[in-house]
Amino acid sequence: MENKKEPEKKRTSRFSEMLLQVTTDLAKTKSLDEALETLVKITTGTIGAERGTIFLNDPSTGELYSRIAQGNFRREIRILNNKGVAGWVFSRNEGTIIHDAYKDDRFNKAVDVRTGFRTKSILCAPLRTVSGEKIGVSQILNKVDGEFLEDDLELLQAMTEQAAIAIQGNIIVEQVEAARKQELEFLDVVSQVSSELELTPLLQKIISTISTMLDCERATLFINDDKTNELYTEVGEGLDEKSVIRFPNHLGIAGTVFTSAKSVNIPHAYADLRFNPSFDKQTGFFTRSILCMPVFNKEGKTIGVSQVLNKRGGSFNEEDEKRLAAFTSQISMGIENAKLFDDVQNQKNYSESILSSMHDAVLTIDENKLVKTCNPSGLKILRVSSIDDILETSLFDKLDKDNNWLTSKLESVEEQEEFLDTSLVVEGEKLSVNISLTPLLGQKQESLGSMIMIEDISSEKRMKSTMSRYMDPELADQLMNAGESDDVMGGKQSVASVLFSDVRSFTTITEELGAQGTVKLLNEYFTIMVDCITDEGGMLDKFIGDAMMCIFGTPVPHEDDPDRAVRAAIRMMTDLKVLNDKRAAEGKLPIDHGMGVNTDSVVSGNIGSPKRMDYTVIGDGVNLAARIESACKQYGAHILISEFTHKAVKATYRTRQVDYVIVKGKTEPVGVHEVLDFHDDESYPNMVEALGHFNDGYRAWNNGNWDQAIKLFKNVEKINPNDKAAKLYLDRCAHLKKNPPKGDWDGVWVMTSK
């Protein structure tokens, strides 16, 4: 009898020692993670297993999650608290021993696949307090020697029960610390609201705090725009930096919350008819749960909506609703203040932009005749280099003595507005000006100073000089003599030839030269090209970045405007070669450009608003010229002209038809011809022979004779391997041999790009 009791005494003693070690070691820990890691080390070491994990229960989500795992694989693992071996043990509140994991239906093999660990045997026991409250599961894997026994399970249960009180205490401490941290963040952002006046930084702080506070994947704060009745936001978790969302303030879940002024908590978004899944489709984001709450100002008016998506680990609960409601009520005043400041700043920027864009000088002076504001045109007209040189100084210190008459006028303007058609002397130069003097009055009609507007009236000579920059001087004379009331400027329909040119590889040039170098190069290039246009009697309509739009035939027509346009294009190529030879000698990059010319009916005249008008031409003829120019790259051409220009020219040029094509935006095909007169023997050797082969090949193409066309285009390629148009037709013929056109072949190609 004594012999049987002896092993049992040893076993009881071993249990006591282990439990004492658990109590002692856990008492030394200072955090939940440290306590869990300690328990894992004790249980795996005592029982002799390869790996162990403690799963804690999350009551809010119904999940078991691991906070510590041994081995190389360390991450949080979450599973439903009724799934897998751990879920089975937790839900049944009883331990289990599994000798062969892969033969047990409760075991989830996917975990081994993710971690690379091979689970053989499992010992799992519920983690519960002395009172029986379940707080998790203790699981150890792969006993080193032999198999897990019932004694091992009993020991594991005893150790986890002994550790449960300490672990539960650490859980409570961690929860308290987390709540305290959230409250401090809450108070910190609320305090920042009162000091932050800029709307975008304020919203960013609010969104970041809401996301952390509610542990969600995305958060957005929508503000109502009273002017457009739209909800909008520029900041949000998961949005790009420049993303702006706007939609009517009655649509979707956010619109429902805004109009009803009632919060909405949706655990399953796709099951709710109010949810619009289109935004998910656009962004690739998947919305699971939504909490949306109105934001009120101090008068109780709804000014926006706060919306949070996808609570991590489950759905949003009542506690989340309370926290979000409390937070939004605290920050609503800050939002209104920031929004008001934003509106004021926008109005200020708007006013400054208007003044900056005005050609007239606008100055304000106070009752002591000191300058308070001055726009850029004012600095220019008064010959002042910097705004700091004129602010808070006397206006008359900046004007010549010949302008003393303005003093008395400013005295009288305190009573009534005055308009003057006069002259102003600035740095010895006499300017013809219109001056408007307006009193500035406060709310009580007290004098705050005066506003001065100065319009520099351009003389006929200055007008002619300006116009001469865009057209031939003789043409400028005709327009000056005709006057703006004439039909020439008032608008008319006529036939004209439109020339578009565009610099190739401009991005590469700008990267090589930088801003100042690029501007210098463009000025040099445009100076040469504009001379080519004006020397042929054409008019520069406008610069479009590195491109030019030029007109031949309006406002004053010539009998040979199509020839003038083609000659100008040819000269632009020859003069560009001279410029490139000069640049090459200086070790600089060459410039290349392409041109398109079309002759058609256009509408010309002064087009714009009463405050800003430009003389220009519009119509399909203009658009076709632009399309033809952009096609130069496709054919490797520098000058392309439409069939209409080709028929209209009177002189003979070296040309070839390179296509009969339906360009982007058109329904009818257009013949496109390449002009090659600018080439010499160096740039295109044996050009006459190559043109003969090409033209024969093009006829074979039109007849659908692909083999004959391929033979002829290959002859062109032998003569000039750089002939891109020949290579293009070789590719087209090969394609059509494999994919014969349906129906009758008419030689028409559809252009899919501009």
**Of 351, 385, 411, which residue sits at a domain end?**
351
Kindly tell me the sign of the dihedral angle through the C-alpha atoms of 19, 22, 25, 29: negative
pLDDT at 29 over 90: no
DSSP at 387: G
Of 634, 657, 678, the position where a domain reaches its end is: 678
Read off the pLDDT band of 741 (50, 70, 90): confident
Q: Which of 624, 643, 678 is the last residue of a domain?
A: 678
Residues 534 and 571 in one domain: yes
- pLDDT reading at 385 higher than 70: yes
Longest dimension (CA), the chain: 136
Question: What confidence score (pLDDT) does residue 73 get?
Answer: 45
Virtual torsion, Cα 98, 102, 107, 112, nearest 10 deg: 120
- C-alpha 230/C-alpha 226 separation (Å) is 7
Residue range 271-285: mean pLDDT, rounded = 80
**575 found inside a domain:** yes
One-letter amino acid at 402 equals D
**Claim to verify: residue 503 and residue 387 sit in the same structural domain:** no
The answer on 127 and 255 residing in a single domain is: no
Q: What is the mean pLDDT of residues 713-728?
A: 92
d(CA 222, CA 306): 6
**Rounded Cα distance, 517 and 528, in Å:** 17
Q: Residues 637-650: what's their mean pLDDT? A: 94
Of 3-17, 216-230, 330-344, the least confident: 3-17
DSSP 458-499: PPHHHHHHHHHTTB-HHHHHHHHHH-TTSHHHH-EEEEEEEE
Convert 126-139 to b/e letters by CB count within 10 Å (16 or more is b). Answer: bbbeeeeebbbbbb
* Residue 372 pLDDT > 60: yes
Given a cut of 50, is residue 695 above it in pLDDT? yes
Would you place residue 400 in the very low, low, confident or very high pLDDT band (cuts 50, 70, 90)?
low
Rounded Cα distance between 674 and 672, Å, is 7
Tell me: do 288 and 382 sit in the same domain.
no
Same domain for 167 and 267, yes or no, is: no
Is 520 in a helix, a strand, or coil?
helix
Residue 626 included in any domain:
yes
Residues 6+ apart with CB under 8 A from 521: 509, 513, 591
- Check residue 387 and give its pLDDT: 83
Q: Is 248 found in the same domain as 106?
A: no
Q: Cα separation of 448 and 446, whole Å?
A: 6
134 versus 727: the higher-pLDDT residue is 727
532: its two tokens? 């080519």
**CATH at residue 172:** 3.30.450.40
656, 710: one domain: no
Q: What is the pLDDT of residue 461?
A: 41
- Asked if 422 and 402 touch (Cβ cutoff 8 Å), the reply is no
- For all residues of the chain together, what is the average pLDDT? 80
Q: By the 8 A CB rule, do 290 and 270 touch?
A: no
pLDDT of residue 341: 66
Residue 420 forms part of a structural domain:
yes
Q: What DSSP element (H or E) covers 646?
A: helix 643-648
Cβ neighbours of 574 (radius 10 Å): 13
Q: Which residue has the higher pLDDT, 162 or 315?
A: 315
User: What pLDDT score does 221 carry?
Assistant: 82
Closest CA to 66 of 129, 138, 160: 138
For residue 69, the model assigns a pLDDT of 47
Judgement on whether residues 664 and 590 belong to the same structural domain of the protein: yes
Which residues sit opposite 248 in a β-bridge?
Answer: 230
What does 388-431 look like in DSSP terms, one character per residue?
Answer: GGTTTSBGGGSS-GGGTHHHHHHHHTTTS-EEEEEEEEETTEEE
Q: Are residue 518 and residue 666 in the same domain, yes or no?
A: yes
Runs of H (alpha helix) within 309-404: 318-357, 376-381
The CATH number of whichever domain residue 631 belongs to comes to 3.30.70.1230
Q: What is the mean pLDDT of residues 475-497?
A: 62
Q: Are residues 364 and 275 in the same domain?
A: no
Q: What is the pLDDT of residues 418-435, one digit of tens each?
A: 777 777 777 777 777 788
**Does any domain span residue 25?**
yes
Question: Does residue 203 lie within any of the structural domains?
Answer: yes
Q: Distance between CA atoms of 108 and 87, rounded to whole angstroms?
A: 11
Assigned domain for 522 exists: yes
Helix axes 687-702, 706-719, angle to 10 degrees: 160
* 332 and 431 co-located in one domain: no
483 lies in some domain:
no
pLDDT at 653 over 50: yes
CB 312 within 8 A of CB 273: no
Of 228, 223, 186, whose CA–CA distance to 203 is shortest? 223
Task: For residue 202, name the pLDDT band (cuts at 50, 70, 90).
Answer: low
Q: Which structural domain range is residue 211 located in?
A: 194-351
Q: Token digits for 737?
A: 């041999």
Q: Which segments of 139-245 does DSSP mark as H helices, in order? A: 150-193, 199-214
Burial class (CB in 10 A: 0-12, 13-18, 19+), 671: middle
- Number of separate domains in the chain: 5
The reply to whether 112 and 16 lie within a common domain is yes
pLDDT at site 19: 67
Residue 550 lies in a domain: yes
